[in-house]
């Protein structure tokens, strides 16, 4: 399914459905297809919104986790959604955490899946560097427990990004920013209900990361999905949606 990308001023976004706003934040190599099953399911009960994060459009100085969180703040202020349910995968989770720490009154609930912010492998030695197609394909497959989830379209997209010099520099800048911007000392300040949905076989933000988030965020619950890697909403969408359904129902 193709979603209409809307534009309001300088902001590009997808918006499907009606109801309480559920805002989805994508990661470094996030495409709209990453959230397809989630959008199709939750647009029946929520206004599902995906702001297009300007990963490649900010100045190099602003290409940081904090810079993206500021963009999310401006977007949500401009759209006047009121209090939102916020969900982030990988870098998107990190951005969601930074936004939430500064604007808790605007966040009804927070969901993190494979989030950076404490520790991650994928932005270090397993980052897909420029190289031949097969190398990029193998690195992309590491995101998932089932490598077949890394289909040709996804691999092609990652390959095109890392072989574009300017985009590659921006990705590296964001990756370094994520590593530097460790939130371990701040997470206890988060008071909004938080749902952690984690793949037991995530090698990028391993299970110990989820356990640390659970320990540090006071009002949090942790759900494991077996035989699942770094992007549960892509790899096992039905199981992911059941968990998220239950969590959101408690915090309407």
Backbone angles phi, psi at 190, to 5 degrees: -75, 120
What DSSP state is assigned to residue 224? E
Cα separation, 224 vs 234, in Å, equals 15
Report the C-alpha gap between 175 and 7 in whole angstroms: 27
Element (H, E) at 153: helix 152-162
Predicted confidence at residue 140, as pLDDT, reads 87
Output the furthest CA–CA distance in the chain (Å, rounded).
48
DSSP type of residue 187: G
Q: What is the pLDDT of residue 119?
A: 76
Task: Name the pTM for this structure.
Answer: 0.93
CATH of region 6-250, choose from 3.40.1190.20, 1.20.1440.120, 1.10.3720.10, 3.40.50.1820 = 3.40.50.1820
Tokens representing 33?
């297809």
Quote the CA–CA distance of 181 and 201 in Å, as a whole number. 24
Asked if 13 and 139 touch (Cβ cutoff 8 Å), the reply is no
pLDDT digit string (tens) for the chain, length 252 residues: 578 899 999 999 999 999 999 999 998 877 777 899 999 999 999 999 999 999 888 888 888 999 999 999 999 999 999 999 999 999 999 999 999 999 999 999 999 999 999 976 654 444 445 568 888 888 889 899 999 999 998 899 888 888 888 888 888 888 888 888 899 999 999 999 999 999 999 999 999 999 999 999 999 999 999 999 999 999 999 999 999 999 999 998
């Amino acid at each position: 399914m193709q979603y209409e990308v809307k534009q309001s001023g300088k902001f590009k976004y997808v918006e499907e459905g009606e109801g309480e706003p559920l805002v989805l934040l994508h990661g470094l190599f996030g495409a709209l297809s990453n959230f397809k099953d989630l959008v199709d399911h939750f647009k029946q009960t929520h206004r599902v919104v995906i702001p297009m994060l300007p990963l490649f459009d900010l100045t190099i100085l602003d290409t940081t986790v904090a810079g993206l969180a500021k963009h999310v703040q401006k977007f949500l202020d401009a759209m006047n959604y009121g209090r939102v349910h916020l969900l982030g995968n990988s870098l998107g989770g990190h951005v969601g955490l930074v936004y939430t720490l500064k604007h808790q009154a605007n966040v009804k609930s927070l969901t993190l899946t494979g989030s950076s912010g404490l520790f991650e492998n994928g932005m270090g030695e397993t980052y897909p560097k420029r190289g031949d197609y097969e190398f990029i394909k193998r690195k992309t497959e590491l995101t998932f427990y089932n490598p077949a989830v890394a289909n040709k379209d996804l691999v092609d997209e990652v390959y095109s990004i890392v072989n574009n010099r300017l985009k590659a520099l921006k990705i590296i800048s964001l990756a370094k920013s994520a590593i530097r911007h460790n939130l371990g000392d701040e997470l206890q300040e988060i008071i909004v209900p938080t749902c952690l949905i984690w793949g037991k076989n995530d090698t990028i933000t391993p299970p110990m990361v989820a356990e640390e988030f659970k320990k540090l965020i006071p009002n949090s619950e942790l759900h494991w999905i077996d035989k699942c890697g770094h992007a549960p909403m892509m790899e096992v969408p039905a199981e992911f949606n059941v968990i998220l359904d239950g969590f959101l129902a408690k915090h309407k």
